[in-house]
Amino acid sequence: MGKQLYNKQRERFRTTIKQVRLDAGLTQVELADKLKRHQSYVSDYERGHRRLDWVAIEEVLVACQTNLVHFSKWYLAGGPK
């Protein structure tokens, strides 16, 4: 698999991580503040314009008061419906 930014797996990742933020009741601005980043950082990864490494994913999940286990189960189940 190449470095393609858009495919079904990446789309599922993006929709799942966005839903985690929404379920936490956070706007992009609020999450960015918690992460000490600009709002565009959150927007970029939610739109697929930025990739997140494992550590960054964990930071986002902790800021949303969830964890990698919960996220992984949801992602593997197909993401939000």
Question: Do 46 and 80 form a contact (C-beta atoms < 8 A)?
Answer: no
Q: Is the pLDDT of residue 2 over 60?
A: no
- CATH tag, 8-76: 1.10.260.40
- Cα-only R_g, the chain: 12
For 79, which DSSP code? S
Q: Is the pLDDT of residue 6 over 80?
A: no
**22 pLDDT tier (thresholds 50, 70, 90):** very high
CA distance 55 to 80: 22
What is the domain partition of the chain in residue ranges?
8-76
Q: Is the pLDDT of residue 47 over 90?
A: yes
Q: Which tens digits make up the pLDDT trace of 33-44? A: 999 999 999 999
CA distance 48 to 56: 14
